[in-house]
Amino acid sequence: MHDFNLRAPAGANKKKRIVGRGQGSGRGTTSGKGNKGQNARSGGKTYIGFEGGQMPLYRRLAQRGFSNHPFKKDWQVVNLGEIEKLYEASEVVDIDSLYKKGLIRKGKGPKALPVKILATGELTKKLSFKVGSASASAKEMIEKAGGEIALDPPLNRMPRPKKKKGKGKING
């Protein structure tokens, strides 16, 4: 045996199971699907929660409560420690500069997420911030370092289009 004669360990490569090739194969006649019924037919799968035509549990129970998911507000989070590494003193930290330095992704239109500054890390440089939001501790650290912060949400998110009045009304 040579050093370069490599083989897969025993049991690593299994042959594909071939079904429906006669009774002598052991997987003939019903091909491992049992006798009759929906799951023995071709395409006879059901979805998760299917109860044989009976009204499924998730539809029998009343929906209770409220979910804030459709109204949640997402942010692109940037930590002060990352800003400290990439910015020089007296630079302006805004959406364009954060995007150019690779700290945020820039979406367009309603997909654009606003930017929020968090106080993770240290900040020693005097910087000017123009972002959507900042945590209270981040504001404190920025002002302590001699910087200034202007919260400017309109720069972060495009306004939603206004609904047109008078559409869909009958007689007027």
Calpha distance 95→103 (Å, rounded): 9
Residue 88 domain flag = yes
75: helix, strand or coil: coil
Q: Could you say which of 30, 58, 86 is where a domain stops? A: 58
Residue 169 domain flag = no
Q: How many domains does the chain have?
A: 2
Residue 3 domain flag = no
Which residues contact residue 172 at a Cβ distance below 8 angstroms, ignoring those fewer than 6 apart?
Answer: 166
pLDDT tens-digit profile of 115-127?
999 999 999 999 9
Is the domain of 95 the same as that of 120?
Answer: yes
Which structural domain, as residue segments, surrounds residue 101? 75-155
Is the domain of 47 the same as that of 90?
Answer: no
Residue 172 domain flag = no
Which residues contact residue 164 at a Cβ distance below 8 angstroms, ignoring those fewer than 6 apart?
Answer: none
Calpha distance 120→131 (Å, rounded): 17
Calpha distance 92→136 (Å, rounded): 20
pLDDT tens-digit profile of 47-83?
999 998 999 999 999 888 888 888 888 889 999 999 9
The distance of Cα 68 from the centroid of its chain, to the nearest Å, equals 17
Residue 67 domain flag = no
pLDDT of residue 161: 60
Which burial class, exposed, middle or buried, applies to 127 when counting CB atoms under 10 A from its CB (0-12, 13-18, 19+)? buried
Which burial class, exposed, middle or buried, applies to 77 when counting CB atoms under 10 A from its CB (0-12, 13-18, 19+)? middle
Which residue ranges of the chain lie beneath pLDDT 50? Answer: 155-156, 158, 172
Is the domain of 97 the same as that of 149?
Answer: yes
Is the domain of 81 the same as that of 145?
Answer: yes
40: helix, strand or coil: helix
Is the domain of 107 the same as that of 47?
Answer: no
- The beta strands (E) that lie in the chain are given as 76-79, 92-93, 115-118, 128-131, 133-134, 148-151
Residue 66 domain flag = no
Calpha distance 19→26 (Å, rounded): 8
